[in-house]
Amino acid sequence: MSQTVAVLDIGKTNAKLALFDGGRLLWEKSAPNRVLPGPPYPHEDVESAWNFFLDALREAARTRQISAIVPTAHGAAGALIGEIELAAPVMDYEFTGVEAIEPDYARLRPPFSESLSPKVPAGLNLGRQLAYQKWRYPDLFAKAKYFVGYPQYWTWRLSGVAVSEVTTLGAHTDLWAPRRGQVSSLAKALGVDQLLPPLRRAFDPLGPIRPEIAAVTGLAPETQVFCGIHDSNASLLPYLVSRQAPFTVLSTGTWVILMCVGLSLDQLDPRDDTLANVDALGRPIACGRFMGGREYAAIAGGSGNPDLDAIERVIASGAMALPCFSSHGGPYATTKGVIRGEVAARDRTALATLYCALVSDLMLTRMGATSGDLIVEGTFAGNLAFCQTLGALRPTQRVFAADDAAGTARGAAMLAHWPPSYPIVAPTPVPAAPVAGLDAYRDVWTAQIGLIGR
């Protein structure tokens, strides 16, 4: 019987279909995601993504016998669905118009001690999106039979089965109480608890694909659809089954998500944008986040990775990037980023790398993540200077690079055969390297950001 698993990987920037067998990537295809301007508000272009997936599945099915499909998707997105179609468009979480419902929303949102979900801008708290839809578009809201997380929206389109799942409900939504393992007081106050379908685990099979999808794609009618998972939690899965706590995974891309397994939740501080996500087994995980990929691009002004010589040139120059270069997420999201001093154009990527390493180090320190290995996966894993600078900033912790651009999709594919019976590929140890002047530079940088209010 075929063990080939197709993963629908819906990121903020791109949609991807990837095929895996026994953890090996066999084939992948991607397309850019689009956000439509509205009405009624900026929203995900789900139909373009759906058509891409159907075409990609059809292409893949010509050469591979696919036995299972697993969706994974970015957080801060969910879908109000009716009997056969969306009741309302899937809101783009960067839509700042949702902030118009403050302070009405603030009166309902749970205290941080309950939700472990900090207040963040725009629609990054999924509960705020739902409140906006209910209060500003009651006719659309009234058509909803269910509310599902974004991975489970794709599950529903594939199988016709509507379910809830904790990694999505527990991803800074305000809708989940991680310590209690149940919906929060906000879900009840908004009446959303009545719209949540039954809770299933990320690795639960929900049934075969719809007959019409089998007919269109050429997939076998018995192809199983699995519940699916929030993308950062998909990145975490290989390490949950192959490592002992404590350890930290830095899942990097548009966002840098620091997932500290085995760390107490007691030092989480909403002012730092630290929070608890929930892993695939329902356990709260201490996390921090900032929009590192976007900030990197804003500072670097281009692509490419620097070497340590470039890092040391920036340090010697005294030039600094001070937060924040994105208005979404991180401990200084409300401040405007600034570059102080002069830096040569060729060293802008070094300045961006140094900035992202310093912010990661700062957040890990504030969370109390002072022990255990650091595993960098995603975009920054290919930036050796970032990994080495982070290691130099935290010399008591070993740094590893998971040189795997398909890490999120690979983790999601594991759900179709859970727990995996095949060996997990270990990340590569990053050789320690001294960085001249780094400690003194960090002291000055830290003093400068100490003057910035949170």
Mean pLDDT of 26-40: 96
In tens, the pLDDT along 130-139 reads: 999 999 999 9
In tens, the pLDDT along 291-344 reads: 999 999 999 997 789 999 999 999 999 999 999 999 888 899 889 999 999 999
268 CA to centre of own chain: 18
Tell me how far apart the alpha carbons of residues 361 and 212 are, in angstroms, rounded to a whole number: 50
In tens, the pLDDT along 346-377 reads: 999 999 999 999 999 999 999 999 999 999 99
Residue with token string 């698993």: 5
321 CA to centre of own chain: 24
pLDDT at residue number 425: 87
Residue with token string 């468009």: 89
Fold of 4-227: Nucleotidyltransferase; domain 5 (3.30.420)
Q: Phi and psi (nearest 5°) for 288? A: -130, 165
Mean pLDDT of 117-145: 96
* CA atoms within a 13 Å half-sphere pointing along the CA-CB vector of 231: 30
Average pLDDT value over all residues in the chain: 95
Mean pLDDT of 35-58: 97
Q: Phi and psi (nearest 5°) for 338? A: -145, 145
Residue with token string 């199983």: 224
Q: What is the number of other CB atoms lying within 10 angstroms of the CB of residue 425?
A: 14
Q: What confidence tier does 404 reach under pLDDT thresholds 50, 70, 90?
A: confident
Tell me how far apart the alpha carbons of residues 374 and 29 are, in angstroms, rounded to a whole number: 30
How distant, in Å, are the alpha carbons of 276, 305, 310, 416 from that of 381? 24, 11, 18, 26
Count of all residues that appear for the chain in the document: 454
pLDDT at residue number 406: 79
pTM (predicted TM-score): 0.91
Tell me how far apart the alpha carbons of residues 284 and 276 are, in angstroms, rounded to a whole number: 6
Prior bond to 211 cis, omega within 30? no
Flag whether pLDDT at 254 surpasses 80.
yes
Q: What confidence tier does 231 reach under pLDDT thresholds 50, 70, 90?
A: very high
Tokens of residue 73, six digits = 């998707």
Flag whether pLDDT at 1 surpasses 60.
no
Tell me how far apart the alpha carbons of residues 403 and 356 are, in angstroms, rounded to a whole number: 18
Three-class SS string for the chain? CCCEEEEEEECCCEEEEEEEECCEEEEEEEEECCEECCCCCCEECHHHHHHHHHHHHHHHHCCCCEEEEEEEECCCCEEEECCCCECCCCECCCCHHHHHHCCHHHHHCCCHHHHCCCCCCCCCCHHHHHHHHHHHCHHHHHCCCEEEEHHHHHHHHHHCCCCECHHHHCCCCCCEECCCCEECHHHHHHCHHHHCCCECCCCCEEEECCHHHHHHHCCCCCCEEECCEEHHHHHHHHHHCCCCCCEEEEEECCCEEEEEECCCCCCCCHHHCEEEEECCCCCEEEEEEECHHHHHHHHHCCCCCCCHHHHHHHHHHCCEEECCCCCCCCCCCCCCCEEECCCCHHHHHHHHHHHHHHHHHHHHHHHCCCCCEEEEEEHHHHCHHHHHHHHHHCCCCCEEEECCCCHHHHHHHHHHHCCCCCCCCCCEECCCCCCCCHHHHHHHHHHHHCCCCC
Query: What are the extents of the domains in the chain?
Result: 4-227, 232-449
Flag whether pLDDT at 454 surpasses 70.
no
In tens, the pLDDT along 408-434 reads: 899 999 999 999 988 888 999 999 999
Tokens of residue 333, six digits = 């999201």
How distant, in Å, are the alpha carbons of 70, 77, 150, 255 from that of 231? 11, 12, 10, 11
* CA atoms within a 13 Å half-sphere pointing along the CA-CB vector of 105: 25
Domain 4-227 shares a fold with domain 232-449:
yes
pLDDT at residue number 20: 97
- Percent of the chain with pLDDT strictly greater than 70: 99
Q: Tell me which architecture the domain covering 232-449 has in CATH.
A: 2-Layer Sandwich (3.30)
